[in-house]
Every structure is written in structure tokens, then in C-alpha cells.
Amino acid sequence: MVLVSAFEWETQLNVAFSKSYTSDEKYKELEQKLKQIQKMISSIEI
């Protein structure tokens, strides 16, 4: 369930970027952090 929430955040980030609510630099930074979080969650989620 937590991993699903992390993917939802990724979707929201993509929407924000496509609507120009965030810069390319900030998008890449947040996307990288989300990927790290998703990896951490998937390694501990049962």
C-alpha cells in the first residue's frame, strides 16, 4: 500500500511538471528522490 502511494506521488509530480508548476531542475531532483523512496519501500514491503 505504501508503494502505491509513492507511485501516486510520482504521478502528481508528472502532472505538476506538465502544467509547468515546477522547473525542470526541481522535477529531476524530486523524481530522483521518489525513485530512491520507491526502492527503499519495495525492499522492505512484504
Task: Report how far residue 13's alpha carbon sits from residue 3's, in angstroms, rounded to the nearest whole number.
Answer: 15
Kindly report whether the global pTM for this prediction surpasses the value 0.95.
no
Note the helical H segments in the chain: 2-18, 24-44
- Residues 11-44 have pLDDT tens digits of 999 999 999 999 999 999 999 999 999 899 888 8
C-alpha cell at 11: 504521478
Task: Report how far residue 3's alpha carbon sits from residue 41's, in angstroms, rounded to the nearest whole number.
Answer: 6
Domain layout of the chain by residue ranges? 2-44
Residue 1, pLDDT above cutoff 80: no
Q: In this predicted model, which residue has the larger pLDDT, 2 or 45?
A: 2
- pLDDT score at 45: 62
- pLDDT score at 2: 78
- pLDDT score at 44: 86
